[in-house]
Amino acid sequence: MLAAGLADRVGLDPATHLYPQLSAAMALAALDAVLQRWDASGGAEDPNGLLDDAFAVIAPALDRPTSRSS
């Protein structure tokens, strides 16, 4: 569902482009890593800061593709 929404937003066909599915998977993996780290800290770490850090790491890979990527 997330991949379909991303595909629609960027105008790509998820049947012929990997970008929507990979982007959704990376975003969910980043969220999972943030939640694990936040939980391990006993809630001491700022989840918003962790999210900012996580997305800063993966942002270059989330740039919209300029060509077909399947």
Specify the number of domains making up the chain.
Answer: 1
Is the separation of the CB atoms in 69 and 17 below 8 Å? yes
- Read off the pTM: 0.82
pLDDT of 66 reads 66
pLDDT of 64 reads 75
Q: Is 68 contained in some domain?
A: no
Q: Is 6 contained in some domain?
A: no
Residue-wise DSSP of 2-70:
HHHHHHHHHT--TTT-SHHHHHHHHHHHHHHHHHHHHHHTTT-S-HHHHHHHHHHHHGGGGSPPSS---
DSSP state of 1: -
For residue 39, what are the domain limits? Answer: 16-62
- Residues of the chain with pLDDT below 70 are 66-70
Q: Is 70 contained in some domain?
A: no
Phi, psi of 39 (to 5 degrees): -65, -45
